[in-house]
Chains A and B, each alone.
Chain A
Amino acid sequence: MRRYALSLLLLVGLLATVLVLYQMTFDITTSILHFLLVPVLIIMTLLNGRKNFLILISYVLIMGFLYLILSWYNEASNERQLSYIGQHLLSSVGVFLYWLFLRQLRSVFEENASLQKRVALLEGFSASPQLLSYSEFLDRTDFLIAGANRRQEQNMLLHLQIPYASLNKKTIMQQLTDAGLKVFRAHYDVMSQRNRQEFIIFLQNTDHRGAEIAWQRYEDELRQRFTVLAFPFQIEILPVKSSVEETLKQRKVVDQ
């Protein structure tokens, strides 16, 4: 709300400046100078990037020099010079407020775009608070793999993939997540959704046999949730190499 109020304030300031400026430009010569404002404001609106600051500074300096030349050429009286200064200040303040307004607007849009992106990412996964986001999952497993390597232990990965053509991806994924959270110790064995089709469970300090036992427990839970004999997803048990991503990439190569 503060930013909204600030934007409104800037807009009001801008309008007030334009009004006062309009009142002051009774002089034909200087009102021609103010036509420079139009292309400057258009360019700033179109660019609306960091270079706008350069345009602002250039405008203020160029206008200052133009008024100076005008004063010299006209041998302007002190009163006239003061009037030029007033006009210059007002038009500069106007462009400055417009620059601030654009900057404010841009930051709101940028923040909005970044938040939307984040929301879209989070919406792609189940809303279960105990499930790690995929980037958190990777960070956690990297740490666990490093520790396991030092202790010369083995880690396994349960990889479940829903076919792309499945119409019930969302519901199947929800069931896999709920069952996973019920069967595995969420703080010991970490799990996550890689995307809308892949669900992965990282089992630390276990071998292939241990992973099969874990899968049996998981399967029992899933059997209670699915009535079909053939599960609507594929299951793979993979030994983890240097990282989870590396393991999954190698799996793809084998598939191909």
Chain B
Amino acid sequence: MNLVLNVIMAIFWLLLLYYSYLTIAGILDRYGRKQPVTLTEYPSIAILIPAHNEGIVMRQTLEAMMGIEYPGKLDVFLLDDQSQDETQEIALEFTTMFSRVHYIHVPKGEPIGKSRVLNYGLSITDSEYFLIFDADNQPKADTVTRLVEQAMTQKNACGAVGIVKTINATTNLLTRMIAIEFQVFQLIMQSGRWKAFKTGSLAGTNMLLKRDVIEELGGYDPYALAEDAELTMRITALGYTLPVVYEAETWEQEPETMKVYMKQRTRWMLGNIYLLEKSLRTRDFWKGSTLVHSLQHIMTYLLFIFLLLISDIVLILGLFGYAFDEATTPLIMFWFMTYLVYTIQILAAQELEGTATPKNVLVGLIMYFTYAQLFVILLFRGMYAYLKSKVRKEVIVWDKTKRVKIES
């Protein structure tokens, strides 16, 4: 029993130290002064927006796209994947009035999902770089310029990743927690890893890529549900880097109900399980900088949740009187450190983002006991759906996140 506990605790140590290190690296990266860059010439950019029944958010998104200021050639392609609502109608209003916006009807095809739509978008455009925005995104006017400037000047960069902010963060407790989760992700996984390993990861939206590179990779994997994470691995395996540009912001909405949230996150979990399986089959994913991503993946989607489950079991057993008194490992202290590291990340992210209001700090203090526990349920849901699809030999269908109307 003690041996098992010691092995588990060794993994705990590793995780605690790694995440503490990333937190400090993230803070240092944010405090570091970024050199402003100006290019003599700006490359052509195609913004690709995959859309399926996005009428509720389409007008605000296209208005934001028209507000983008970019010194070079910029075109916006709305890739309509068989929408049945007013997506087309709104898009056509813009295309008839503004030369920057183009409406593209994506032909029906299999497998359904964002990857296939993006591959189609790439096939009909010819810009030097392309940029992905989700259909609910509202980027800042200088976002594209900031991304391009870093992508063109950083060593080995094949693109750049911006940051995502939550437009409906204050709607309810769930959106507040999601917003905090995003802030932590951006501090630890983006800024921290960029500082520590010079590696960033694509976040599905607000990401710029060089066309040559995606062509070299053969486009998006149409079966990947977490297409951003999958593409990050392949890009890193080729030796390219993805600078994280903190100044390049976009605003997007997050699920406001638990039902929509669970659906979205189960899809993400499925995508990550698919990627885990692919990682185990692909030797290139375990070399150089890609190793950081692969290990990170295992840590986040397997070890963290597994250890969370163990800590819950220990807690529950403790409550029922089984206290592990004979254990030589300080279980309570480990549990406390896990809580501490998790919460410190949240508080650090809030302080750096300027969102450390009393309410947000209070929510941050309870997130370990509430929001983090949802990941145990998500892992089980994801594993169940994944195994079911394997047994039945079915292709997992892309499940689009339901949007809400937010007045600007």
Contact = CB atoms under 8 A, between A and B. Distances in A.
Contact of A65 (B23, B28, B328, B337): B337
Interface of A is mostly: helix
A237 interface: no
Contacts of A61: 20, 23-24, 340-341, 344
Given A51-B31, A53-B351, A67 B24 contact: no
B31 A81 contact: no
B43 interface: no
Contacts of A2: none
B24 to A, nearest CB: 6
Contacts of B334: 68
A68 B337 contact: yes
Nearest to B341: A61
A243 interface: no
Given A58-B24, A78-B325, A81-B332, A50 B31 contact: yes
Nearest to B9: A72
Interface in A73-115: 75-76, 78, 81-82, 84-85, 88
B192 to A, nearest CB: 12
Contacts of A81: 330, 332-333, 336
Contact of B330 (A51, A60, A76): A76
A85 B333 contact: yes
Contact of B27 (A53, A72, A78): A53
Interface of B: 16-17, 20, 23-24, 27-28, 31, 323, 325, 328-330, 332-334, 336-337, 340-341, 344, 348, 351
Nearest to B345: A57
Interface of A: 50-51, 53-54, 57-58, 60-61, 64-65, 67-68, 71-72, 75-76, 78, 81-82, 84-85, 88
A65 B340 CA distance: 10
Given A53-B351, A54-B24, A60 B340 contact: yes
27 contacts: A53-B27, A53-B351, A54-B24, A54-B28, A57-B23, A57-B344, A61-B23, A61-B344, A64-B336, A64-B337, A64-B340, A65-B17, A65-B20, A65-B337, A67-B333, A68-B330, A68-B333, A68-B337, A71-B333, A72-B329, A75-B328, A75-B330, A76-B333, A81-B330, A81-B333, A82-B332, A88-B336
Given A68-B334, A71-B330, A78-B332, A60 B31 contact: no
A81 B329 CA distance: 11
Contacts of B333: 67-68, 71-72, 76, 81, 84-85
Given A57-B24, A61-B20, A72 B337 contact: no
Given A57-B348, A61-B20, A78-B325, A85 B332 contact: yes
Contacts of B16: 65
Contacts of A78: 323, 325, 332
Nearest to B351: A53
Given A61-B20, A64-B337, A54 B31 contact: yes
A60 B336 contact: no
A251 to B, nearest CB: 34
Contacts of A75: 328, 330
Contacts of B31: 50-51, 54
Contacts of A64: 336-337, 340-341
A88 B348 CA distance: 18
Given A76-B333, A78-B325, A81-B330, 11 more contacts: A54-B31, A57-B23, A60-B340, A65-B17, A68-B334, A72-B329, A75-B328, A75-B330, A81-B336, A85-B333, A88-B336
A49 to B, nearest CB: 10
Contacts of B351: 53
A75 B326 CA distance: 10
A216 to B, nearest CB: 51
A153 B27 CA distance: 56
A190 to B, nearest CB: 33
A48 to B, nearest CB: 15
Contacts of A67: 333
B59 to A, nearest CB: 35
A50 B28 CA distance: 11
A54 B27 contact: yes
B325 A60 contact: no
Nearest to A79: B332
What 6 pairs between A and B have smallest CB-CB spacing?
A71-B330, A71-B333, A81-B332, A81-B333, A61-B20, A85-B336
Nearest to A92: B340
Give the interface centre of A64, A67, A84 by most chain B CB atoms within 10 Å: A64
Contacts of A85: 332-333, 336
A67 B330 CA distance: 10
Contacts of A53: 27, 348, 351
Nearest to B347: A57
Contacts of B332: 78, 81-82, 85
A50 B337 CA distance: 25
Nearest to A76: B330
A67 B337 CA distance: 9
Contacts of B28: 54
A58 B24 CA distance: 7
Contact of B344 (A60, A82, A84, A88): A60
B117 to A, nearest CB: 42
